[in-house]
Structure 1
Amino acid sequence: MSNHENPITHQPPPPRRIRVVATSPADLLALVPYLLGFHPHQSLVALGFTDDELVVATRGDLPTQDDPANAVDLLIGQMTRLVTNSRCTTVHLFGYGSPDLVEPVLRAAADGFADAGLEVIDLVRVTSDRYFSLRSPGPDEGVPFEVGSNILAAYAIAAGQVAFPDRDSLARTIEAVDGPEQQAMTRATIAAAERLNMLIATDGTAAAIRAGKHAVTEAFDRYAAGGRLDDNEMGWLTVQLINPEVREHAWLLTDDRSWHEQLWRDTTRRALLDLVAHAAALLAFTAWRRGDGVLANLAARRALDADPGNRLATLIDQVLAAGLSPATLIWPPDQPPADDTPDTSDLPDRAEPS
């Protein structure tokens, strides 16, 4: 696990809340991959409900013998904070893995959630195609279930939800482009850096900031219309995001609309390594606002791996760890987050691909 990676991934409240009528653990298990965005393995999953409405799904890696002695307590503490902050009243707990790893963690989690004032409805251990309830024991061989044939999975797919095979597969959707596309972006970014340096030298920093804000606004308009920036436009956008005033402009425009995620996902994939942190942090922000804590977590990690001091990514990482819902956000803010003075030394002379 990366030093920057938050072990909790979650699906907070709207806009991605799913209204379903689940009559069995099999129904809930069919939904889990679509709530998380991937099929969990070696995981503890909690589904939080308010009355009969599914409000939040949270997942963490099962601690192993190589983890610190307090790893289980830390995991459960983070998960209970997230569920209680989402104002849930009941919770279903699922453990994916072998009995020796899963069952002690499930029982400890049940105690932790009960201590936090939630009613624990069921504790279920899950294998690839069977589940075992610790509260209502069934057959020794478990109860068979199949995600693909469940009607609730079909509803999730129809609603646009996607379930990747595992977390790594989802992470690869925001990895850097490679091959000819990477080479084209390298050339475009170097040209954009030269253009920006010349603009600053001839017309001053204020003119460069105006051009940067215009580039951001044009990018939003392009993706709102279903379009995409070409390499030269993308290179220009990524070098402009070096300036804090331009980044603030981009941040204030970013909300939970799907094409905002598309814009910042595309920028994250195409930005060069020394410029990717700003785009990835904005992707983390819009993903969190959309209720996609999994993508927010992955994007924040991508930003912090590139720049451990990135303030927006650090903030999103802390928000995820605290289990704060996007419903708590007051937007637009009275005061944007502080940032540093622009440093054009960040501009690539010979840009390194990410």
Structure 2
Amino acid sequence: MTTSTHSVRLGDPADVLAAVPHLLGFTPSQSLVLVALHETSDTSAACGVTLRIDLPESENHSALAEYLVKGPLARQDATAVLLVIVGTDGREPDDADGQPGASPPTDHAAGEAGSLPYSGLAGVLAGAFREAGFSIWHLLWTPRLRAGGSWQCYDDPTCGGKIPDPKSSAMGAALAASGAVTFESRSELERLVAPESEELSARWSAKLNELIEESAREPAGARKDVELVLGAVARTAANEALTELDQLRVLLALSDSRVRDLCLSAALGDNAMAAEQLWLTLVRKAPAPEVAEVAAMLAFSAYLRGEGALAGVALERIESCRPEHPLGCLLRGALDAGVPPKHLESLTRDAIQDAKLTIDEDELS
């Protein structure tokens, strides 16, 4: 699941579909996309959290609907939802233009041969949300989210059309101006945080072992390690290149959870984007299991910016080598539950203060 919390105003359903890749950070496929809405009048609403979930098997439809109603949406104070199902069930391929065939396939839970793909899932979701008191502004289907692709409403055969080019949409233009990037697919996003090479990881692992032995002979102290990390962030913000040794020392410093927690403050200040750039560089170079700490820094930074997709793939790096990592587990739970970034920011400020007090006490004792 991925989340995003950019705010836009709803217009035509086609415009919302064109905005979905930007809300998520990538173009989804074979997915259920849920946009939580905060109604401002009978005819308009503001978008809140956006969630993406892999399309479930038919036996899991009810469980998914119950989870969404009682989990993420319960924390959002949403009053309505917009649902988009992207994909086909594989029984009948799209034509060369990505359009459905003359008789679209149905999912295993659908009852009528002429219904849209995944109409069984659509029916279960509609019933669950309405029973829970949510308005359903639209329940849409499209085989692919791309310019010129077709879309249709599940409950109104006359409601449908073509998707505008997401790259030229108002949402796309606004996010491009802010520096945000929308990836063509989730796999492209995964490659962003993938290790550069096995050879580099092995070399860094050996160098880290040497630095660990060196630090055991001449311990720097947590306070100096915090200064080292934040200094590296400041140098990155000033476009000053860091040497490989600089980067290795940052990685080693972050292995102290007190230092890591205090350096979470980098995501809250003026150098937040520079810090994220540094974390991303280190995530691609760091070996396992040391990558977990800097991947957690990247996930936290991305989460605060509402970039749930990037946070999600960073967390997957942690889960591949240290599945019980405390901060990683905390962030995964928050992401899956749709906890708003502002709420996480508030909790983090307390954790930063606790880390500072712990370091002060340890170094005074």
Instruction: Say yes or no: TM over 0.5.
Output: yes
1:26 paired residue number: 14
1:169 paired residue number: 188
Contact 2:19–2:169 (CA under 8 A) maintained in structure 1: no
Q: Please state whether the residue corresponding to 1:332 is helix, strand or coil.
A: helix
Which of 208-217 and 127-136 deviates more? 208-217
- Structure 1 pair 227–56 and aligned structure 2 pair: CA distance change class (3 A): farther
1:273 aligns with 2:288: yes
RMSD: 2.5
* 1:222 corresponds to which of 219, 235, 241: 235
The amino acid that maps onto 1:31 is: A
1:197 paired residue number: 213
Work out the CA distance in 1 between the residues paired with 2:51 and 2:274: 25
Deviations along 1:280-300, whole A, 9 cap, x unmatched? 111111111111111112111
1:151 aligns with 2:169: yes
- Structure 1 pair 259–76 and aligned structure 2 pair: CA distance change class (3 A): farther
Deviations along 1:255-278, whole A, 9 cap, x unmatched? 373223222111211111231011
Q: How many residues align?
A: 313
* 1:46 corresponds to which of 14, 28, 34: 34
The amino acid that maps onto 2:23 is: L
- Structure 1 pair 23–249 and aligned structure 2 pair: CA distance change class (3 A): closer
Work out the CA distance in 2 between the residues paired with 1:138 and 1:49: 24
Q: Please state whether the residue corresponding to 1:57 is helix, strand or coil.
A: strand
Work out the CA distance in 2 between the residues paired with 1:161 and 1:221: 21
1:105 aligns with 2:125: no
Deviation at 1:30, TM superposition (A): 0.4
Deviation at 1:134, TM superposition (A): 1.5
1:96 paired residue number: 86
2:68 paired residue number: 79
Contact 1:264–1:283 (CA under 8 A) maintained in structure 2: yes
Alignment of 1:55-66 (within 5 A): 55-64=48-57
Work out the CA distance in 2 between the residues paired with 1:227 and 1:217: 14
1:137 aligns with 2:157: yes
- Structure 1 pair 83–93 and aligned structure 2 pair: CA distance change class (3 A): same
Q: Give the TM-score of the pair, scaled to structure 1.
A: 0.80
Q: Please state whether the residue corresponding to 2:73 is helix, strand or coil.
A: helix
The amino acid that maps onto 1:45 is: V
1:160 paired residue number: 179
1:119 aligns with 2:135: yes
The amino acid that maps onto 2:139 is: L
Work out the CA distance in 2 between the residues paired with 1:230 and 1:74: 50
Contact 2:37–2:46 (CA under 8 A) maintained in structure 1: yes
Contact 1:78–1:321 (CA under 8 A) maintained in structure 2: no
The amino acid that maps onto 2:106 is: D
Work out the CA distance in 2 between the residues paired with 1:149 and 1:302: 29
Contact 2:26–2:309 (CA under 8 A) maintained in structure 1: no
1:298 aligns with 2:316: no
1:347 paired residue number: none
The amino acid that maps onto 2:73 is: V
- Structure 1 pair 114–228 and aligned structure 2 pair: CA distance change class (3 A): farther
Q: Give the TM-score of the pair, scaled to structure 2.
A: 0.77
* 1:324 corresponds to which of 336, 339, 342: 339
Deviation at 1:41, TM superposition (A): 0.7
1:333 aligns with 2:350: yes
In structure 1, list runs of 5 or more residues that go unmatched. 1-7, 338-354
Deviations along 1:281-325, whole A, 9 cap, x unmatched? 111111111111111121112112111221100111111122211
Q: Please state whether the residue corresponding to 1:287 is helix, strand or coil.
A: helix
Contact 1:19–1:53 (CA under 8 A) maintained in structure 2: yes
